[in-house]
Amino acid sequence: MRKLDPFLLSLIAAIVLATFLPCHGLGATLLTHLTTLCIAIMFFLQGARLEPGAVLESVRDWRLQGSVLGCTFLMFPVLGIVLHALMPGLLKPDMWHGVLFLCCLPSTVQSSIALTSIARGNVPASICAATLSNLAGIVATPILVALIVQRGNVWSGHAIIDIATQLLLPFGLGQLLHTRLGDWARRNKKLLSLSDRGSIILVVYTAFSHAVVEGIWHRVSVPDLLITAVFDTVLLALVLFLSRGIGRFAGFSEASSISLMFCGSKKSLATGVPMANILFPAAAVGTVVLPLMMYHQIQLFICTLLARRFAARHTSGEEG
């Protein structure tokens, strides 16, 4: 809250570098193959880090876990479709594709858990919910994108093979080797976090290089970016309000309602950027991930404020 996120600065730097020094020709081809390899490694390491028992643990509180999945993969897409139908001219088509793609993504892991912890919510439930959301997203997100964004065009044989080879297969191999690599992965969380973020930055640079060559900055203006940022903020506010209401209507405890609100409103940049790279044409990826990159930072800022407010209220209640 007191300083800019280094990861955000790195993403901005990647966009600026791609704007003035985009890769093209043989360099772009080589970089595309490198990003494919980095994505596979990132999902392999995610599989190695995840405790296999966490998946079974996640289904115990099925009402809460089902509510989080419902917010993530049902409420978000419905809101996106309704808002698009009401205001089709608000954003340009490519930016609308980015917003609808955002609505199809799974929740984050680290920030959902961290914010739940700050807000004194149900941390074990958030760990399970974020884990289950990301596992479900590997299959659910491409299907939702096919139905909502591309109207079936993206769910091709090529896309299925790419999802299987770049995401599912590496993740599964990581799970199989968890007993050998799990302890090492836990001891080297910071190193692996740098590896994950480095992979995302590389994918963003590659995507924006393709987009710049195709003339992205002639199609997307500063007002377009500002409107998208405001729209992302409104979308986040709606989901936070609705998820909070669902928690109260379902009779969840305060801690579980907080978990639902924070897990159900997040969207994963770490999963979204690699998936966009697989599911969309190279020239469109840069535009598609712009709304997601904005939403990522907005959700961290607003939800951190909310988490601190919940924590302060909890502390006041204890003192009272």
Whole-model pTM: value is 0.83
Residue 317 lies in a domain: no
pLDDT greater at residue 47 or residue 119? 119
Helices (H) and strands (E) counted in the chain, each on its own, are 17, 0
Residue 223 maps to a domain:
yes
Rounded to an integer, the average pLDDT of 28-39 is 84
Distance CA 174, CA 80 (A): 34
Region label for 251, one of left (φ > 0), alpha (ψ between -120 and 50) or beta (otherwise): left
66 Cβ partners below 8 Å, 6+ apart?
Answer: none
Is 104 contained in some domain?
yes
Position 123, amino acid: V
Task: Give how many domains the chain has, as a whole number.
Answer: 1
More confident residue, 51 or 320: 51
Confidence of residue 1 (pLDDT cuts 50, 70, 90): very low
Q: Give domain status of residue 179, yes or no.
A: yes
The per-residue pLDDT of the chain, averaged, comes to: 84
Section 190-211 average pLDDT: 82
DSSP 128-186: HHHHHHHHHHHHHHHHHIIIIISTTSSSSHHHHHHHIIIIIHHHHHHHHTHHHHHHHHH
For residue 299, what are the domain limits?
Answer: 6-312
1 domain residue, yes or no = no
Q: Do the domain assignments include residue 50?
A: yes
State residue 57's pLDDT score. Answer: 58
CATH assignment of the domain containing 133: 1.20.1530.20
- Tell me what pLDDT residue 109 has: 78
The neighbour count for residue 250, using CB atoms within 10 Å, is: 14
Tokens, residue 83: 């808002």
State both tokens at 79. 């809101």
Q: What are the b/e assignments for 224-242, b being 16+ CB within 10 Å?
A: beeebbebbbebbeebbeb
For the chain, the straight-line distance linking the first and the last C-alpha, in angstroms and rounded, comes to: 28
Please indicate, yes or no, if residue 262 is contained in any of the structural domains: yes
Classify residue 197: in a domain, yes or no.
Answer: yes
